[in-house]
Amino acid sequence: MSPIKACIFDLDGVIVDTSIYHYLSWRRLANELGFDITREDNEQLKGISRMECLRIILSIGGVSTSADQLYELAEKKNLWYLEHVQTMTPNEVLPGVVEFMDYVKQAGIRIAIASASKNAGKILEKVGLMDRYEVLVDGNVVSKAKPNPEIFLRSARELGVAPVNCIVFEDAISGIQAAHNAGMRSVGVGDEKILKNAHLVVPTLGAMSMDELLALQNFA
Ligand code: B16
Ligand code: MG
């Protein structure tokens, strides 16, 4: 049995859902380049870095650009995305998240946020969660995308907790794989059929009980 000493939460899809804002901003960019993207296309972009998303969008439209243009396009999309982020309020925190974080903290379990987003700090500030976690590891400080375990290993290191004592909460398949590659246990937040490799799957954090969390201590 490995006691739970830290919970590491992914941001987008677990704590808030900014995927609609990413979609609107990527779609605006695609339209400006003369093509369109669908909601299904947007599904592929979850949990993936900004530059990787841009490469996927451009391949959908069959557009090729220079390396310099790639950075300009990514920057343009990000400015549009930030206009949406500026409108975010605490009402956008997903159901049950604050209550679950409170339970965890009261149980003496440490909290980190691990997000591929370079805007994670801004989003957490807009939704009023800045004082609910000890460590934030985001796209500004990690270079290897999930399923590489870098983001979770760094979170554990900054908290001073061994990986075996960490539980990761993730909505992306690559994030669950990254948690396992880090030697951590995982909770998938979302669809059980998609996140079947996770040690436990819940539809939202609000559906997760403290008993279920503590039962994860018994998983190897
Ligand atoms: P940015 P997460 C990810 O956040 C999003 O799921 C993904 O769609 C986005 O492309 C990525 O952040 C980078 O975001 O452009 O703001 O740096 O799920 O890892 O919290
Ligand atoms: Mg996510």
pLDDT tens column, 124-169: 999 999 999 999 999 999 989 899 999 999 999 999 999 999 999 9
pTM: 0.94
Choosing from 10, 17, 22 the residue with most ligand 1 atoms within 8 A of its CB, the one to mutate for a pocket test is 22
Q: Do domains 6-17+93-218 and 19-85 have the same CATH topology?
A: no
Residues written for the chain: 220
Residue 46 to residue 143: CA distance in whole angstroms:
17
Q: For this structure, is 41 an active site residue? A: no
Of 39, 56, 113, 115, best ligand 1 pocket probe by most atoms within 8 Å of the beta carbon: 115
pLDDT over threshold 70, residue 10: yes
56-85 as b/e: b if 16+ CB within 10 A: bbbebeeeeeeeeeeeebbeebeebbeeeb
Indicate the CATH number of 19-85 among 3.40.470.10, 2.30.40.10, 1.10.3720.10, 1.10.150.240: 1.10.150.240
- Give the closest residue to 200 by CA, choosing from 220, 216, 217: 216
CATH superfamily of 6-17+93-218: HAD superfamily/HAD-like (3.40.50.1000)
Query: Does residue 220 register a pLDDT over 70?
Result: no
Cα-to-centroid distance, 103 and ligand 2 (Å) = 22
Active site residue 17: no
Kindly report, residue by residue over 84-128, the tens digit of the pLDDT.
999 999 999 999 999 999 999 999 999 999 999 999 999 999 999
Q: How far is the CA of 12 from the centre of ligand 2 (A)?
A: 4
